[in-house]
């Protein structure tokens, strides 16, 4: 096979892989149309990430889910965390945190943190913007007679069954993992040369991963995603986004404890 043929295969790889994805989804997914389509979409995205040399995004994605998966697995075996469970969680959480950071540094997606990466004024503006959108979402929610989300209800239930320290770590540091996975890696790795596509994908993917089930929940997580994605698109500063996100989650925990 000469170089011309290889170039043609490379050019059309996005289409060539599609029949294999469809066949695999047909053979191994439940034969309901909605599940089949979802399986095709997921497999196709994974295939494209590999074919276009973007598969390392899957590592960031997997590492971002590791703390939550660890908590779920522990609760499947025990109704409450014991000392060993806490140690296991902290070990896997630390591995996930450190490896995610080192991988991002190795891929040159982020730089080493410096004082200028944490501009207090911009952090405050980001928090105030999130607060304004939160108030607006609450007003719309009352009009729609919907004031809660499935994701928030799940977090409230989780807070009742795991140590508050573990809950705080998992919730606050979600800001680190999610900004790295759904903002930095999308902009700087997957769609590095297509910033407009990166913006749309980052907005939608972050909101979707929070499990919206109705107009109100899409508004809550969509507005948060739009705000954080806009900030990253403008400043390309991971530490700015991380600070806003982590502080917002921390404020949410404090507010929940005071209720």
- For tokens 């945190």, the residue is 97
Written as tens digits, the pLDDT of the chain (259 aa) is 556 767 777 888 889 999 999 998 888 776 678 778 878 888 888 898 998 889 999 999 999 999 999 999 999 988 889 999 999 999 999 999 999 999 999 999 999 999 999 999 999 999 999 999 999 999 998 888 777 788 888 888 888 889 999 999 999 999 999 999 999 999 999 999 999 999 999 999 999 889 888 888 999 999 999 999 999 999 999 999 999 999 999 999 999 888 7
Report the distance separating Cα 106 and Cα 120, nearest Å: 27
Closest C-alpha among 63, 57, 89, 49 to residue 169: 89
- Domain locations in the chain as residue ranges: 1-53, 119-258
Measure the CA–CA gap between 252 and 230, rounded to whole angstroms.
21
Count of C-beta atoms within a 10 Å radius of residue 137: 21
Strand (E) or helix (H) holding 100: helix 83-106
Tokens representing residue 4 in the block: 């011309």
- pTM equals 0.88
């Amino acid at each position: 096979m000469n170089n011309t043929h290889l170039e043609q295969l490379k050019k059309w790889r996005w289409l060539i892989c599609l029949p294999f994805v469809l066949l695999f989804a047909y053979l191994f997914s439940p034969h309901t149309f909605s599940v089949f389509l979802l399986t095709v979409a997921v497999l196709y995205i994974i295939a494209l990430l590999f074919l276009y040399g973007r598969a390392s995004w899957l590592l960031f994605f997997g590492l971002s889910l590791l703390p939550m998966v660890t908590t779920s697995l522990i609760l499947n075996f025990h109704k409450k965390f014991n000392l060993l469970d806490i140690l296991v969680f902290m070990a896997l959480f630390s591995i996930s945190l450190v490896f995610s950071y080192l991988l991002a540094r190795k891929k040159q997606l982020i730089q080493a943190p410096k004082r200028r990466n944490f501009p207090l004024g911009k952090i405050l503006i980001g928090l105030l913007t999130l607060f304004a959108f939160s108030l607006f979402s609450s007003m719309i929610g009352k009009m729609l007679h919907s004031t809660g989300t499935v994701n928030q209800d799940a977090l409230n239930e989780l807070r009742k069954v795991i140590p508050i320290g573990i809950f705080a770590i998992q919730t606050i540091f979600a800001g680190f993992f999610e900004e790295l996975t759904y903002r930095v890696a999308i902009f700087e790795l997957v769609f590095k040369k297509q910033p407009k596509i990166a913006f749309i994908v980052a907005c939608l993917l972050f909101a979707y991963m929070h499990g919206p089930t109705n107009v109100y929940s899409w508004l809550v997580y969509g507005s948060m995603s739009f705000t954080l994605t806009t900030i990253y698109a403008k400043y390309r500063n991971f530490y700015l986004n991380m600070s806003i996100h982590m502080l917002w989650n921390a404020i949410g925990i404090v507010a929940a404890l005071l209720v």
